[in-house]
Amino acid sequence: MATPEEPDFPPGHPKRFDYNPKSAEAREWARRNVHPAGERDFPVGHPKASDTKGNTNRVAVRAGEDPAHPELEPFTGRTPEQVAADRELWDERIALAQPSPELDPTEAPPPPDKPGDTRPPTGQPGEITPEERSILDRFRGRNR
């Protein structure tokens, strides 16, 4: 099945093979696309054109606000009823909150006088004992 040929230019375009400047198609094409002063950014009827019905280019957009729903709370999009219910819940939580107990200060052990593992073992998990160290050193070919 042969595919239909796509025309090179739409009806009314000046470069179309059957262009007639006085035809209705040419006048409609010029109305939509020719702007001598260059004042249009978008053709007539384009969603972003400022004179298209429903265009929102001139609506101020503020951070966190939905321009289509200014009644909602910024950043969360909650209704005033949801905000009031959430505030009540937080007030209940605040009334039940207790301060955290103060912790004992933690002091770091003093640094070793000479480099290497000279400190006594602390018993922490994963710490290598002196016996384990001597076995590892024998495997590595060192004598201590």
Question: What pLDDT does residue 4 have?
Answer: 72
pLDDT in tens, the chain (144 residues): 556 788 888 899 989 989 999 999 999 988 888 877 666 677 777 877 777 788 877 788 888 998 888 899 999 999 999 999 999 999 999 999 999 988 887 888 777 666 666 666 666 777 777 788 888 888 887 665
Question: What pLDDT does residue 74 have?
Answer: 92
- Sequence-distant (6+) residues with CB within 8 A of 75 are 63, 64
Which domain, by its residues, includes 35?
7-39
Question: What pLDDT does residue 125 have?
Answer: 72
Determine the Cα–Cα distance for residues 57 and 44; give it in Å rounded to an integer: 15
Whether residue 72 lies inside any domain: the answer is: no
pTM of the shown model: 0.37
Is residue 38 left, alpha or beta, with left meaning phi > 0 and alpha meaning psi from -120 to 50? left
Whether residue 59 lies inside any domain: the answer is: no
Whether residue 23 lies inside any domain: the answer is: yes
In the chain, the number of structural domains is: 1
Q: How many CB atoms lie within 10 A of CB 46?
A: 14
Question: What pLDDT does residue 116 have?
Answer: 66
Please tell me the chain's helix, strand, coil percentages from 3-state DSSP, rounded to the nearest 5.
25, 0, 75
Question: What pLDDT does residue 115 have?
Answer: 67
Whether residue 106 lies inside any domain: the answer is: no
Whether residue 87 lies inside any domain: the answer is: no
Question: What pLDDT does residue 57 have?
Answer: 77
